[in-house]
Amino acid sequence: MLEEASQAIEAFRAGFPMAFLAVVPVIFMVMSPIAVVDAAHEFTVYRMQQYDLQGNSYGCRSSLVNAEARTIHSSSYARKCVLIRSSELTHTKYLEVVDGGPSAIVVLLCGNMSNGQIQNFIEMENELLSTDSSIPVYFANEDQELNNVYDRVTHSTKVESSSALQAMVDAATSVGYQLVTVGAASKSMPDHSIVNIEGFLPGLGIEDQLPTVAVVAHSDSFGVAPYLSYGANSDASGVVVLLELARVLGKLYRNSRTHPKHNVLFLLSGGGKFNYQGTRRWIEEALDNSASSSIDNPSSALLSSASLVLCLEGLALDGTNSLRMHVSKPPAKGTVADALYKNIEKFGGGDVDVSLVHKKIRLSSDSLAWEHERFSIRRLPAVTLSSFENHDHPIRRSIMDRKDKISMETLVKNTAIITESLVSYLYNTTDDNMLNFVSGDYGIQKERMQTWMDFLVASPRPAQALHVDHPVVTALEAELNKHTKGVHKQAFKADKRDPDFMFYDGLVLQMSASIVRSAAFDLYMTGAVAAYLAVIYFLVLKFNGVLSIAKKFNSLPKVKVQ
């Protein structure tokens, strides 16, 4: 037994040098740091809008990505995931990339874009939203790691080699990245609800016999990537003005000496840019189901007696000093809309450019231009107050509609004008000094408005996220409850038999950028390993000859150099 063990040990000692010489270097060659697949960076990506509206599909229909990275500087995009910086994105370049047959596109949002680049990107968003995409389109906030990935991919796929040998070396040493989304494929959300929040202030007298004014603003945001849309102007500004109106009027309605003979309805609608689905449902419940509405929700039942519906949107646009009344039909003389417009002109005091913008409703269009058009279709007098020149203002549907695009001074000024104009109508007074709404007990509270604006733009508010228990929905309901009565949340889903709208999930995913070796590197490495093993095999096979040559070389006389 001991003899067999000693023989095994002796055999191991005899063979170990050769095994070490043959195997260990090969292991080190195969375990090159460039050769391994290693997760280099993981980042959050936000998918482009995907939704169905009134039988039509919009946005991006795919979500999964598993492809090698390329940039727009590469010569080929076929079956690759193309990285594009937002500062380089144009409609022409986008179409060129799509025609190249990529498997996905990732737009890197730069944090230091110039005003011109931002404007170009905002205009580009509308092009993207109007194009039905069969490939995944994602957006990601640029950081240092992503910049490094972009630069390496650009270098490895753009640099032209000066010679064939250099091309071979570049192919072997280039660093590639495999981009993979971590998550399941997107699927429809048939049980997702759109939420309306409403409240009202009953006038002095029998409510059903009093005229009613409704104030409306949609609470959600919209953009090419839902979970990057903050909607500062469209329509956090409208929500803030509505809440301030509710506070001031609520204070007046609680005092018996200042209780007017008008009902005031307040609606924070959902699904704003989805053809105003929340407003549509609210109108249908009030007008088509008025009997049940008067029992379950008395406030909406008052809509049928509305003498004016006042919609609010885009009232804090930076760089503007205007307040426009958008109408579907010019208001007739003596109507509430006409009286309100004259009050706005009066209380604007010449400091604000007040104008009337008339636009007919296009029923043939896929979506309505303004929220007031939903009411006008049902023959309810309605207008929209906004700083926007027209409904085509690109920031209304942009992820660039952020806090830096608003002016609180403009918002406070417009709020004061709207409040004074509405109160002047409610109390039927022509006295310019009836109440001073820029100071005193009924003053517009800028700090409070600033707090609400900061809260609303602190996180994205897409319709896909604003469920019944969302913090924004809960906070808005609580605030309306402080100043109005009958506060009620109305959550509704799409009809499953014939859905007017359908949302999809998978809008926020994690993407990993993994370093991968090129095919040329694998080929060269295979050749190097084969050549090395061939040399080792030759040395082992001809070991005695090699050993004798080495001994002869070692026996040569050594010459000492002086």
Report the alpha-carbon distance of residue 39 to residue 31 in Å, rounded. 16
Q: How confident is the model at residue 553 (pLDDT cuts 50, 70, 90)?
A: low
Of 44-58, 140-154, 173-187, 449-463, give the lowest mean pLDDT range.
173-187
The per-residue pLDDT for range 249-271, each reduced to its tens digit, is 999 999 888 899 999 999 999 99
Pairing mode, strands 263-269 and 137-141 = unpaired
Mean pLDDT for 430-456 is 76
Six token digits for residue 447:
């700090």
For the domain spanning 194-492, the CATH number is 3.40.630.10
Report the alpha-carbon distance of residue 427 to residue 146 in Å, rounded. 60
Does 559 score more than 90 pLDDT? no
Mean pLDDT for 170-186 is 75
- The helix (run of H) or strand (run of E) holding residue 474 is helix 471-483
DSSP symbols for 84-130: EEGGG--HHHHHHHHHT--SEEEEEE-SS--HHHHHHHHHHHHHHHT
Six token digits for residue 446:
């800028």
More confident residue, 440 or 378: 378
Does 239 score more than 60 pLDDT? yes
Report the alpha-carbon distance of residue 9 to residue 209 in Å, rounded. 108
Of 36-45, 167-176, 529-538, give the lowest mean pLDDT range.
167-176
**What confidence score (pLDDT) does residue 16 get?**
47
Six token digits for residue 495:
């009809």
Burial class (CB in 10 A: 0-12, 13-18, 19+), 94: buried
Six token digits for residue 179:
């981009």
CA atoms within 13 A on the CB side of 456: 28
Interior/surface letters 244-274, b for 16+ CB within 10 angstroms, e for the rest: bbbbbbbebbeeeebebebbbbbbbbbbbbb
Which H, E and C letters describe 184-213, residue by residue? Answer: CCCCECCCCCEEEEEEEECCCCCHHHCCEE
Q: Is 503 left (phi over 0), alpha (psi -120 to 50) or beta?
A: beta
Q: What are phi and psi of 537, to 5 degrees?
A: -60, -45
Does 84 score more than 70 pLDDT? yes
Mean pLDDT for 388-398 is 91
Percent of the chain with pLDDT over 70: 80
Does 431 score more than 80 pLDDT? no
**What confidence score (pLDDT) does residue 285 get?**
87
- Tokens 């076929």 label which residue? 78
Of 235-249, 348-362, 436-450, give the lowest mean pLDDT range.
436-450
Polymer length in residues for the chain: 562
Mean per-residue pLDDT over the chain, rounded: 83
**Do residues 186 and 504 touch, judged by C-beta distance below 8 A?**
yes
Six token digits for residue 53:
């509206």
**What confidence score (pLDDT) does residue 470 get?**
95
The per-residue pLDDT for range 538-552, each reduced to its tens digit, is 767 766 776 677 666
Write down the pTM of the prediction: 0.83
The per-residue pLDDT for range 479-499, each reduced to its tens digit, is 999 999 999 899 999 888 878
Mean pLDDT for 445-463 is 95
Interior/surface letters 322-351, b for 16+ CB within 10 angstroms, e for the rest: bbbbbbbeebeeeebbbbbbbbbbbbbeee
**What confidence score (pLDDT) does residue 4 get?**
54
Locate the DSSP E strands across 219-339.
Answer: 263-269, 306-312, 322-327
The per-residue pLDDT for range 191-211, each reduced to its tens digit, is 999 999 999 999 998 888 899
Instruction: Map out the domains of the chain as residue ranges.
Output: 38-188+508-517, 194-492
369 SS3 class: coil
Q: How many Å from the N-terminal Cα to the C-terminal Cα in the chain?
A: 60
